[in-house]
Amino acid sequence: MRGDFTTIPFKLRKTMTKSLVNIAELSKEKIQYLLDMAQLFEKDPNLPMLKNQVVATLFFEPSTRTRLSFETAANRLGARVIGFSDPKATSSSKGESLKDTIMMVSNYADIIVMRHYLEGAARYAAEIAPIPIVNAGDGANQHPTQTMLDLYTIYQTQGRLNDLDIYLVGDLKYGRTVHSLIMAMRFFNPTFHFISPEELKMPQPYIDFCDENHINYVIDDEFTAQSISHADILYMTRVQRERFTDLVEYERVKNSFILHADMLTHCKDNMKILHPLPRVNEIATDVDDTKYAYYFEQAKNGLFMRQAILCDVVGITAEDVKSKM
Amino acid sequence: MTSKIKNKELQVAALQDGTVIDHIPVDKLFAVVTILNLPLMPNKITIGFNLQSKKYGKKGIIKISDCFFDDAVINKIALVAPACKLSIIKDYEVVEKRIVKLPNEFTGVCKCINPKCITNAEPMNTRFHVIGEDRKMLRCHYCEQEMNRDEVKLL
Ligand SMILES: [Zn+2]
């Protein structure tokens, strides 16, 4: 099936492939399947599964970190990469519609990895494109590959996804990654702890989501060695000044949600600290040398997970991958 | 049954052929007038305002001669005045009576309230899902923003 992909008519190709737009669309089985597939790439990241294929990375909004991760994934799979990282250099800055850009690139590439500053852009692209779209972030809306790499990291460090105590710390109001994580973890009976300043607390719709899905949660505004002693996962996020309407409040709380090494004296042995990166100062550098720090490995897992996703969207199965190992 | 309905309708004004939209909440009457683009229509039109209604206390009614609307227009009415009643009249008889109800999913009709939504930047159709137990909320199919149906702007 591989290799002759471009000779298959557009309409038929569309039925064989599936875009990844939104984490909520993935079933429990599909999540587990992608985790297992990422594990294969962790064992051997240099399998030429996408040989002779072209992956387009269209970054209508710059994100060097995400783009490098996707492009490394594509390159290690043997694909060639085209695309842009700066929309100012493209015709969309001359007023070309998203549709026209997507249709044009679909003539050249087999997969489009797309980041866009507008929300819903990936859903729309997936509807019109004859080739699969992988959403690499659409505004404040979705960033499903980040969530999948978070799940992979939790699975990798804990050996399971079920029945974990996951502490989400910092900006729970605007933090897209923590919202998606709650959504994806709904299958696995987690207990969440929401630790944030009052101004950045978890929005009500996500609390309602937890209630509707029987997800256990605890709301806390205290961030101390004691309050995190039961954590299996400590998921840190940035508390940004510009998110506050009340700057006096910001000054008051800005140091209350910083993790220092001396706060790790009571924590569980298996506990791991995650962060979507880039960090500013919410994790003190003295934490980096502890056995609990795992954010750099987490970023590396993005490579394996994105390899699995790039294969999956063009219909390459875990069995196909195993047969090449 | 048909003649009973007919007699009731005749209390306002007889209509030979056309459409009657009844039970419009009075505060939505002018919105419906705008949706139907009535000021630009050459047809004979009767608009009743502040009439008695068991349901709302007061209601509005619109009768338009020789005009029948397609589903897209009826969906727009459903968005601003759900539960109004629409009757098709042919030769003084009600030949079809329908409760105006938003489908679970619809395209066009209104704009997404999210300024960062792709539908507000790209020449494309909007698309919404009607959600919530009382069906008062809409969710944008693209950006997933949820909004009250009272706060949307019609296209
Ligand atoms: Zn929208």
Domains in chain B, CATH or no CATH each: 13-99 (3.30.70.140), 105-154 (2.30.30.20)
Contact A127, A156 (CB under 8 A): no
Same domain, A163 and A276: yes
Same domain, A236 and A317: no
* Strands (DSSP E) found in chain B: 18-25, 45-53, 57-65, 85-90, 93-99, 105-107, 127-131, 137-140, 146-148
Share of chain B above pLDDT 70, in %: 92
- Please identify every stretch of chain A with a pLDDT value under 70, giving residue numbers as ranges: 1-17, 89-93
A99 as an active site residue: the answer is no
Same domain, A34 and A138: yes
Class of residue A241 by CB neighbours under 10 A (exposed 0-12, middle 13-18, buried 19+): exposed
Residue in the structure block whose two tokens are 């004004």: B13
Is residue A4 a part of any domain in this protein?
Answer: no
Is residue A3 a part of any domain in this protein?
Answer: no
Same domain, A236 and A273: yes
Query: CA-CA distance, A139 to A223, in Å (whole number)?
Result: 29
pLDDT digits over B23-71, tens only?
999 989 998 998 888 999 999 999 999 988 777 789 999 999 999 988 8
Quick check: A121 contacting B, CB < 8 Å? yes
Best mutation target among B118, B124, B133, B146 (most A Cβ atoms within 10 Å) is B118
* Category of B140 on φ-ψ map: left (φ > 0), alpha (ψ -120 to 50) or beta: beta
Quick check: A123 contacting B, CB < 8 Å? yes
Quick check: B127 contacting A, CB < 8 Å? no
| Of the partner residues B114, B124, B146, the one whose CB lies closest to the CB of residue A119 | B114
Residue in the structure block whose two tokens are 């875990």: A318
**CA-wise closest residue to A202 among A236, A174, A222:** A174
Supply the pTM of this predicted model.
Answer: 0.87
Q: What's the total number of domains in chain A? A: 2
pLDDT digits over A265-321, tens only?
999 999 999 999 989 889 999 999 999 999 999 999 999 999 999 999 999 999 999
Same domain, A95 and A155: no
Same domain, A102 and A155: no
Same domain, A81 and A210: no
Residue in the structure block whose two tokens are 């996962």: A233
Quick check: A33 contacting B, CB < 8 Å? no
Query: CA-CA distance, A292 to A228, in Å (whole number)?
Result: 13
Query: CA-CA distance, A80 to A50, in Å (whole number)?
Result: 9
A141 CB neighbours in chain B (<8 A) are 143-144
Parallel/antiparallel/unpaired status of strands A272-274 and A233-236: parallel
What's the mean pLDDT in B108-130?
Answer: 95
**CA-wise closest residue to A295 among A237, A222, A211:** A237
Predicted local distance difference test score (pLDDT) of residue A2: 41
Predicted local distance difference test score (pLDDT) of residue A137: 95
Same domain, A75 and A161: no
Predicted local distance difference test score (pLDDT) of residue B57: 85
| Of the partner residues A98, A116, A141, the one whose CB lies closest to the CB of residue B144 | A141
pLDDT digits over B67-82, tens only?
998 887 888 888 888 8
Structural domain that includes position A85: 23-142+302-324
**CA-wise closest residue to A172 among A119, A216, A236:** A236
Is residue A12 a part of any domain in this protein?
Answer: no
CB atoms within 10 A of CB A13: 19
Q: Do A120 and B146 touch (CB under 8 A)?
A: no
Joined together, the tokens standing for residue A169 give 């710390």
SS3 A130: coil
Is residue A241 a part of any domain in this protein?
Answer: yes
Q: Which amino acid is at A97?
A: S
Is residue A247 a part of any domain in this protein?
Answer: yes
Predicted local distance difference test score (pLDDT) of residue B154: 84
Predicted local distance difference test score (pLDDT) of residue A64: 92
Same domain, A97 and A122: yes
Is residue A7 a part of any domain in this protein?
Answer: no
Stronger pLDDT, B94 or A10, i.e. the higher one: B94
Same domain, A47 and A191: no
SS3 A183: helix
Q: Which of A143, A176, A193, A306 is catalytic?
A: A143
Predicted local distance difference test score (pLDDT) of residue B43: 93
Closest chain A residue to the Cα of B113, Cα to Cα: A119
A241 as an active site residue: the answer is no
Closest chain B residue to the Cα of A117, Cα to Cα: B116
Is B11 a residue whose pLDDT tops 80? no
Is residue A275 a part of any domain in this protein?
Answer: yes
Is residue A15 a part of any domain in this protein?
Answer: no
Same domain, A80 and A120: yes
> What DSSP line would sit under B39-73, residue for residue?
GG--S-EEEEEEEEETTTEEEEEEEEET----HHH
Alpha helix locations (H) across chain A?
10-16, 28-43, 64-76, 98-106, 121-128, 144-158, 176-185, 204-212, 247-253, 295-313, 318-324
Residue in the structure block whose two tokens are 């939104």: A22
Whichever domain contains A47, its CATH number is: 3.40.50.1370
Predicted local distance difference test score (pLDDT) of residue A87: 75
Quick check: B19 contacting A, CB < 8 Å? no
Same domain, A151 and A137: no
Strand-pairing partners, residue B130, are B138
